[in-house]
Chains A and B, each alone.
Chain A
Amino acid sequence: MVSLLRNQKVRNALLQVLYVGSIAAMVLAGIVIARRNLADQGITSGFDFLFKSTGWDVNFSLLPATANDPYWWYFLIGIINTLFLGSVGLILATIVGTIVGLARTSSNDLARLLGRTYVDIFRNIPLILQVFFWYAIITHLPTPRSAHEAWGFLLTSRGLYIPFPNVGSAAFAAATVAVIAAIVLPAWLGRTSRLAQPIGQRRAIQLAAAAVALACAAIILALGRLPDTPLLDFPALQGLNLRGGLRIPPEFATLAIAIAIYGGSYIAEIVRGGFKSVGTGQVEAALSLGLSPWRVFTLVRLPLALRAMLPILANQYVWLMKATTMGIAVGFTDFFMIVALTINHSGQTLEAIGILMAGFLAINLSLAAVFNRINKAIALKGNQLRG
């Protein structure tokens, strides 16, 4: 018996059982206590509330929404809002981070100083303060009547108005998917056909795929165009209000800017680290082969830096995705805010929080899975350490 306890495998298994057992006990106790409390307050537990209409409104939705819609529809709206804000925020943060990160690795003293100052400032101020700061600035922009205008864009305290194609929303969504496919497909084909096709054909296949996808996008836009309207709808003042174009509400703009600037400061550090990890040897070899500094950047430094950056970047993205929950601070109906409102109005606290956790878990696990796939696909071949 004693000797059995000394066995490493037995010990590990026992510890595991104890660990899982104690967690299960805690969860079970929580559920029992919560049920009793809820019953005392006369609240029925369960997920029936999902099919009741909410009776309140959301201020931002990519899907049609009325107060008569059931809770499950609102949760869907919330998840889509979170994904939308997250994607816009992450893309902008990546652009900002790349620019600042490259400035930090440049040989120009001033660029390095500016990059460093940026990172020091925006990384060290809590996100919530930055959100309030940008919200204050945006809501103090001029009224629609005296809006700032440039190239058909209007900047007002009611939000940013941008020109928008006159097409149905379904057609617009389909065209967006086609444009994304035009970017993703060639990259994916480039990987999978790497060894199968002779090198000369690979580029042609990639170009063809991109062209087909872009052509699809154009056809969809042409078909989906609203009859008797110009291709682009420009926002313009009519009476006291702005009509036409697409309005980006101040709440959304605030959060997108805050995530871009705050996230950008973290991503800048990742970008800098990635470029620092590229060996000088490879760069010197490329230079000695007569490649220009720009080619050395695009063919050697960038691809190698990307491989070093991607795993850390994936963590950062998962983490920034959670920053969308700042929506509640300015009243943007992201997933978290919808859950909070649901708890207020329906009292179904446990169920709503369960849905919130499951939703974020699903979003972030999918994000991580996508990045794992990309990572695996571009990992340096034949290198056991990096798999």
Chain B
Amino acid sequence: MTSTNSTGEPALRIENLDKYYGTFQALRGINLSVQRGEKIVVCGPSGSGKSTMIRCINRLEQHNGGRIVVLGTELNDDVGNIDEIRREVGMVFQHFNLFPHMTVLENCMISPMIVRKQPRAQAEATARHYLEKVRIPEQAMKYPSQLSGGQQQRVAIARALCMQPQIMLFDEPTSALDPEMVSEVLDVMVTLASEGMTMICVTHEMGFARRVADRVLFMDGGEILEEAPPDEFFTSSRNERTRQFLSQVLGH
């Protein structure tokens, strides 16, 4: 994989991506290229295919047409490729999805130990490092259900980071949180962005998009309707559907 770094291959390349659920077409000819270190924010109305798109990137959903190339490796039926890509792509979910039967520390250590074959001591050191980074080192020995939503989501971010991924995917990481906890999670994400992580975030936090995004995508009906840097996206969108959507999320 290191050989592809030097050739200028983008972190992620999606070409003509189609996805069907039965006969329903959820994605229609998506094209997207993401450079290393780029931060992409994806927004759009409910059911527009945002989750479907980012879940295709690590094969939680299987696409039906087009190509997805992640870090130079094409996603296809080759199980080896899928494993390789999942090792390098971290994901944070709306509902945290922590393992409730493991402590916070175990949640963070399990995958590095098993997938990366790290010795226990090293995995624990890495886990404590990232828990420190998301500002909850003192919760390491607790169980997920003993934490607040914001803390749980930060554990989920730390868990993904412990695999030291090259790309991070976020699917509405703050929309299941109480309002007062949103900022603690966004702060962690902003720090991560400032350190150069390649990020693709589905979120309706437009303040976050303004601060960190290199590009904002607007999706509707399974298509990317608009793609622009944030200042342009928020002030001078030409697309009628985008303006309508923006007035709804920014309005009130």
Contacts and interface: CB of A to CB of B under 8 A. Distances in A.
Interface string A368-387: 00000000001011110000
B196 interface: no
A45 B111 CA distance: 68
Interface string A194-207: 01000110000000
Interface string B92-113: 0101011111000110001100
Count class of interface residues, chain A: 20 to 34
Interface in A211-232: none
A303 B146 CA distance: 19
Interface string A175-202: 0000000000000000000010001100
B143 A300 contact: no
Contacts of A59: none
A288 B60 contact: yes
Nearest to B106: A199
Contact of A199 (B98, B124, B144): B124
A290 B86 contact: yes
A288 B58 contact: yes
A284 B95 contact: no
Interface in A339-387: 378, 380-383
A329 interface: no
A365 B215 CA distance: 65
Contacts of B90: 288-289
Contacts of A303: 101
B75 interface: no
Contacts, number: 81
Nearest to A304: B101
A199 B98 CA distance: 20
B114 interface: yes
Contact of B121 (A200, A290, A299, A382): A200
A120 to B, nearest CB: 29
Nearest to B60: A284
A199 B120 contact: yes
B163 A381 contact: no
B101 A292 contact: no
Contacts of A15: none
Contacts of A288: 58, 60, 86, 89-91, 160
Interface string A279-306: 1011011111111100100011001100
Contacts of B60: 284, 287-288
A132 B105 CA distance: 55
Interface string B225-236: 000000000000
Given A295-B114, A381-B146, A290 B163 contact: yes
A307 interface: yes
A194 to B, nearest CB: 9
A31 B171 CA distance: 71
Most buried by A among B97, B115, B143: B97
Contacts of B97: 279, 281-282, 284-285
B83 interface: yes
Contact of A300 (B99, B120, B160): B99
A235 to B, nearest CB: 46
Contacts of A304: 100-101
Contacts of A284: 60, 93, 97
A380 B143 CA distance: 8
Contacts of A285: 91, 93, 97-99, 156, 159
Contacts of B120: 199-200
B87 interface: yes
B145 A382 contact: yes
Contacts of A380: 100-101, 143, 145
Interface of A: 195, 199-200, 279, 281-282, 284-292, 295, 299-300, 303-304, 307, 378, 380-383
28 contacts: A199-B105, A199-B106, A199-B120, A199-B124, A281-B95, A282-B98, A284-B97, A285-B91, A285-B93, A285-B99, A286-B99, A287-B58, A287-B86, A288-B86, A288-B91, A289-B86, A289-B111, A289-B115, A290-B83, A290-B115, A291-B111, A291-B115, A299-B110, A303-B101, A380-B101, A380-B143, A381-B145, A383-B100
